[in-house]
Amino acid sequence: MKRFAIIGLGNFGSYTAKTLYAEGHEVLAVDKDKARAQALDQYSTEAVVLDATNKDSLRALGLEDMDAVLVSTGTDLGVSTLICMYLNEMGVKRILVKASDDDHAKILKGVGANDIIFPERDMAIRTAKNLSNPNVLDFIPITSEYDIIQIEPPREFIGKSIRDLNLRAKYNVHIIAIKETEPEQFILIPQPDYILIERSKIVVIGRSEDIKRVKPIKRVL
């Protein structure tokens, strides 16, 4: 079990808090709006009504002991920046902050944010990828050049070993995991002699352009 704090309980913050709590983690939910905090009372370990821009009040929460703190305070750039700066000064291990644009992200990085989140942009990209490529099951951009993509293996892959497919040598694309569904099993870094079966999913990593050159799966990228 880990310990998290969510500051700002709008849609993004509240859904994050509820999900973490449902996963069995300890969650401290914080918002200056009493109604929002009360709404999270049964979906968090503790819900607190507090103005996080008040440094003394924020320090009293003991956030430096949390595994991570998420700041999701809406469109006011000054508020999230100030809170992020305070958290950094307190020695919080990991600070995640929701940003509105690239300039805001640069400021947040400058005052101590470890991770910048663009919820609408990230979800828009993910939705567009899924609409454009219906058999891409999941898509995680690592950098502007590299992707991790989980897909259902094309029919041509079934019954062949990873060695036979030889994607690494041919296209510089690596199969890093296999997820079997019946029975459920996750195989990290499968052996070269692993034979792909039906009702399985493969997770591949590589440069975006290299993945596109893999002919059997080019239509899903």
Q: What is the pLDDT of residues 66-117, one digit of tens each?
A: 999 999 997 778 899 999 999 999 999 999 999 888 888 899 999 999 999 8
The per-residue pLDDT of the chain, averaged, comes to 85
Percent of the chain exceeding pLDDT 70 equals: 86
Rounded CA gap, 99 and 142, in Å?
Answer: 18
Q: Is-contact 63 87, C-beta < 8 A?
A: yes
The conformation of residue 117, written as its DSSP 8-state character, comes to E
- The pLDDT value recorded for residue 32 is 94
pLDDT confidence band for 63 (50 / 70 / 90):
very high
- The pLDDT value recorded for residue 120 is 75
Q: Is-contact 53 76, C-beta < 8 A?
A: no
Highest mean pLDDT among 128-132, 140-144, 166-170: 166-170
Rounded CA gap, 67 and 164, in Å?
Answer: 43
pLDDT confidence band for 188 (50 / 70 / 90):
confident
* Phi-psi label, residue 172: left if phi above 0, alpha if psi -120 to 50, beta otherwise: left
Task: Please determine, for residue 189, whether its predicted confidence score (pLDDT) is greater than 90.
Answer: no
**CATH fold label, 3-117:** Rossmann fold (3.40.50)
| Residue limits of CATH 3.30.70.1450 in the chain | 122-220
CATH number listed for the domain at residues 122-220: 3.30.70.1450
* The token pair that represents 56 in the structure block: 């003394």
Q: What share of the chain is helix, strand, coil (3-state, %, to 5)?
A: 40, 30, 30
pLDDT confidence band for 217 (50 / 70 / 90):
very low
Highest mean pLDDT among 91-95, 137-141, 164-168, 188-192: 91-95
| Residue limits of CATH 3.40.50.720 in the chain | 3-117
- The pLDDT value recorded for residue 139 is 53
pTM of this prediction? Answer: 0.64
- The pLDDT value recorded for residue 100 is 81
